[in-house]
Chains A and B, each alone.
Chain A
Amino acid sequence: MEKNIERQTLLLRLDGDLDMKTAETLRQAIDNEIERRKVRTVILNLEKVQFIDSSGLGVILGRYKKLVPLGGKIKITNVPAHVFKIMELSGLPKIIDFYQTEAAAREEGRGAQ
């Protein structure tokens, strides 16, 4: 996992499998930054993720539910096609915004400075 924080935006580049083994680590990594560093936008780059199941999807949904009441949001980028198919079946893309690139995710919603 590769981490980058800029202002209130946390960018995580994830790799490997998002399953019950890795779900808890990911949950803690994101929640720590939300609580300690007041991160309000979380961008997850899934380019190197090879596998996702409902445990991995649950962590993403859980972070969405945590961020929304705080006025925050979660964005997902660079999803491999086979991973996207699973996400699509879960309905996640209906509530969370997906982007082709990190740059596109950063741009959107930033507004005038």
Chain B
Amino acid sequence: MKENQLTLSFSSLAENVGIARMLIASVGAQLDFPINDIEELKVAVSEAVSNAIIHGYRGRSGHVVLMELEIDDDALKITVSDEGCGIPDVEQAMQPAYSTDPERMGLGFVFMQSFMDELNVDSTVNKGTTVSMVKQLNRSASSPSS
């Protein structure tokens, strides 16, 4: 059952990355995630959104990034999508230290993978990329679901 959902649609601008992080931090706090988990959610979202702007849209403004949050009984699902250039080889892009830019560390997907319970990347060249990430909720103690 879907308990709650939020959608944030924003321009491909660097200043919006911080807003996406604020949203996930607020939602994470509301779901009673420990502070450490909230920090990790912020990093994962920051990486996904930065990738959409820097790689998906090649740093160009005037495009739209969509961040969708779905909260159900046992998980928080985050989907970040763009309609940018797409990733030709997703498997290669997800390798640690893979980067198209020497100034960057190629750690974006590594962080997303480390901090989330599930990560799925769906990309089509010239159509766009959708990154879906799931973080399990551990709320058995506070709210019985029966």
Task: Return chain B residues, CB-CB under 8 Å to A27.
Answer: 103
Indicate which residue in B15, B42, B101, B114 contacts A21 across the interface (CB closer than 8 Å).
B15
Decide if B88 is an interface residue (CB 8 Å cutoff).
Answer: no
- Please state if A21 and B14 are interface contacts (CB–CB under 8 Å): yes
Of the candidate stretches B64-72, B77-85, B105-113, B128-136, the one touching chain A is B105-113
Decide if A1 is an interface residue (CB 8 Å cutoff).
Answer: no
Of the candidate stretches B1-9, B43-51, B116-124, the one touching chain A is B43-51
Closest chain B residue to A83, Cβ basis: B39
Kindly provide the distance from the CB of B60 to the nearest chain A CB, expressed in whole angstroms: 13
Decide if A58 is an interface residue (CB 8 Å cutoff).
Answer: yes
Closest chain A residue to B97, Cβ basis: A91
- Please state if B17 and A59 are interface contacts (CB–CB under 8 Å): no
- Please state if B102 and A62 are interface contacts (CB–CB under 8 Å): yes
- Please state if B46 and A90 are interface contacts (CB–CB under 8 Å): no
Task: Return chain A residues, CB-CB under 8 Å to B104.
Answer: 54-55, 58
- Please state if B105 and A58 are interface contacts (CB–CB under 8 Å): yes
- Please state if B21 and A51 are interface contacts (CB–CB under 8 Å): yes
Decide if A17 is an interface residue (CB 8 Å cutoff).
Answer: yes
- Other A-B pairs beyond A54-B106, A58-B104, 16, CB < 8 Å: A19-B17, A20-B54, A21-B14, A51-B43, A51-B46, A53-B43, A54-B107, A55-B46, A55-B50, A57-B105, A62-B103, A82-B35, A85-B39, A89-B110, A90-B105, A90-B107
A-B pairs with beta carbons under 8 Å apart, 6 shown: A19-B14, A19-B46, A51-B43, A54-B47, A55-B50, A82-B36
Give A residues with C-beta under 8 Å from B: 17, 19-21, 27, 51, 53-55, 57-59, 61-62, 65, 82, 85-86, 89-90
